[in-house]
Amino acid sequence: MGAAVPNFTWVRQETSAKLRVTFSHHDGPRGTLASASPSFTNPTIIFDEEESWTVGAVAGSVDLETVATHEIGHILGLAHATITTGVAMTLA
């Protein structure tokens, strides 16, 4: 993983988690940044561990907060937006 990650409280026992967040291999840098699996019992966001993640705008990196907000929208049932300036636009 790239730069610093925000101060999350990681839950080791997934049964007590409300939203499961993991980092795993998707398809490498600049492909699919993350994916969301909406579920009433096991909502999950998987970030591509091969991206250069940062918090804030840093050249050559991906802002974790922006992608997380986008994926949380999918967890809530929102689709991609047709406007190109919103967080719900297609990121990849």
Q: Does residue 80 lie in a domain region?
A: no
Can you give the pTM of this predicted structure? Answer: 0.74
Q: Are 29 and 50 in contact (CB under 8 A)?
A: yes
Q: Does residue 83 lie in a domain region?
A: no
The larger pLDDT score, comparing residue 41 to residue 92, is at 41
Mean pLDDT to the nearest integer, 32-46: 90
Q: Does residue 59 lie in a domain region?
A: yes
Say how many domains are in the chain.
Answer: 1
The per-residue pLDDT of the chain, averaged, comes to 82
**Domain carrying residue 18:** 14-75
Q: Does residue 81 lie in a domain region?
A: no
Q: What are phi and psi of 15, to 5 degrees?
A: -65, -20
